[in-house]
């Protein structure tokens, strides 16, 4: 392992010292190189690549082989960030042995440091099995996109008292099962803060307010690559969709007008 690379110990220490943890998704070498150079703490090779890279409506279709393909590309660029890869839908739900086999495949083939999977108490035994093999596991609660057909929509989760209690119980179950961190997606800020304050592992929020130990966004959303996707929890730091459109239009114009390449751009 490259010296200076972040580990789960680094992340625990950050939580203990009250240092917020930054996390972003990356799906390829170029973006991973830039994120790593910016000193991002965690890179997630998220199954959101099913949506933003493959153009699917949900995260369900992406396969283990495809996650490995993207994970390998990301890992070639990373020098300092801690890298987590999503176990895609269908690779950990059948039984614990299959889940362990698939988690090992993911880590063995990519060299990533950890895997992430979605769910609460119902996956706690699976998590323990994977953790006992030596692979760190990040949990994911709240809006869990792999269960979108069960949830019915991408709306705010854990709004009733019953659902809030369930989510708290799930977070405790994941900590006990051995997770090193948990992503909380699209839940009330107050609930996320309460969970972050009551358990010892880092809580990373997305649409979960400012009381979490860290924040994660999909890189495409941060860069404003899709002007049609504007949920409240996303902050666009750039409007790259418009910039790329403009750049490509200028290029087309230059080609059509025989303005590109000029003599300095020719041999
Ligand atoms: O797949 C993904 O990008 C994620 C983040 C939204 C946390 O799971």
Residue 222 to residue 236: CA distance in whole angstroms: 5
Cα–Cα separations (whole angstroms), residue 100 to 93, 95, 117, 136, 267? 11, 9, 12, 12, 55
pLDDT tens for 27-53 read 999 999 999 999 999 999 999 999 999
Instruction: Find the residues whose C-beta lies inside 6 A of ligand 1.
Output: 25, 44, 46-48, 86, 140, 183, 206, 216, 218
pLDDT greater than 70 at residue 2 = no
pLDDT tens for 81-137 read 999 999 999 999 999 999 999 999 999 999 999 999 999 999 999 999 999 999 999
Query: Is 185 assigned a catalytic role?
Result: yes
Q: Which residue has the higher pLDDT, 3 or 110?
A: 110
Q: Whose Cα sits closest to atom 1 in ligand 1?
A: 46
pLDDT greater than 70 at residue 213 = yes
Residue 185 to residue 182: CA distance in whole angstroms: 10
E strand or H helix at 139: strand 137-142
User: Of 118, 162, 185, 194, which one is the catalytic site residue?
Assistant: 185
**Angle, helices 124-132/161-177, rounded to nearest 10 degrees:** 20
Average pLDDT over residues 146-165: 97
**CA-wise closest residue to 62 among 52, 70, 48, 50:** 50
Retrieve residue 108's tokens: 């063995």
CB 219 within 8 A of CB 24: yes
CB 208 within 8 A of CB 23: no
pLDDT at 3: 63
Q: Whose Cα sits closest to atom 8 in ligand 1?
A: 46
Q: Whose Cα sits closest to atom 4 in ligand 1?
A: 46
pLDDT band (50, 70, 90) for residue 4: confident
What does residue 58 show for φ and ψ, rounded to 5 degrees?
-130, 175
What does residue 260 show for φ and ψ, rounded to 5 degrees?
-135, 135
Which DSSP symbol is given to 199? S
Q: How far is the CA of 219 from the centre of ligand 1 (A)?
A: 10
Q: Is 181 helix (H, G, I), strand (E, B) or coil?
A: strand
pLDDT tens for 168-184 read 999 999 999 999 999 99
């Amino acid at each position: 392992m490259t010296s200076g690379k972040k580990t789960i110990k680094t992340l625990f220490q950050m939580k203990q010292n009250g240092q917020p943890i930054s996390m972003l998704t990356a799906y390829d070498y170029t973006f991973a190189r830039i994120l790593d150079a910016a000193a991002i703490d965690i890179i997630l090779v998220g199954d959101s690549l099913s949506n933003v890279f493959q153009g699917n409506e949900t995260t369900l279709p992406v396969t283990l082989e495809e996650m490995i393909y993207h994970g390998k590309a990301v890992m070639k660029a990373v020098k300092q960030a801690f890298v987590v890869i999503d176990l895609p839908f269908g690779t950990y739900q059948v039984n614990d042995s299959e889940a362990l086999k698939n988690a090992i495949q993911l880590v063995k083939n990519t060299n990533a440091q950890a895997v992430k999977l979605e769910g609460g108490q119902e996956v706690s035994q699976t998590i323990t099995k994977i953790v006992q093999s030596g692979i760190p596991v990040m949990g994911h609660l709240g809006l869990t996109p792999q269960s979108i057909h069960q949830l019915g929509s991408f709306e705010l989760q854990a709004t009733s008292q019953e659902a809030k209690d369930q989510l708290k119980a799930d977070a405790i179950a994941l900590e006990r099962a051995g997770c090193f961190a948990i992503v909380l997606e699209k839940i009330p800020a107050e609930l996320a803060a309460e969970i972050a304050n009551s358990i010892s592992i880092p809580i990373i929020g997305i649409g979960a307010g400012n009381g979490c130990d860290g924040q994660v966004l999909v890189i495409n959303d941060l860069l404003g690559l899709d002007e049609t996707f504007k949920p409240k929890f996303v902050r666009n730091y750039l409007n790259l969709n418009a910039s790329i459109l403009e750049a490509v239009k200028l290029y087309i114009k230059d080609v059509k007008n025989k303005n590109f390449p000029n003599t300095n751009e020719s041999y």
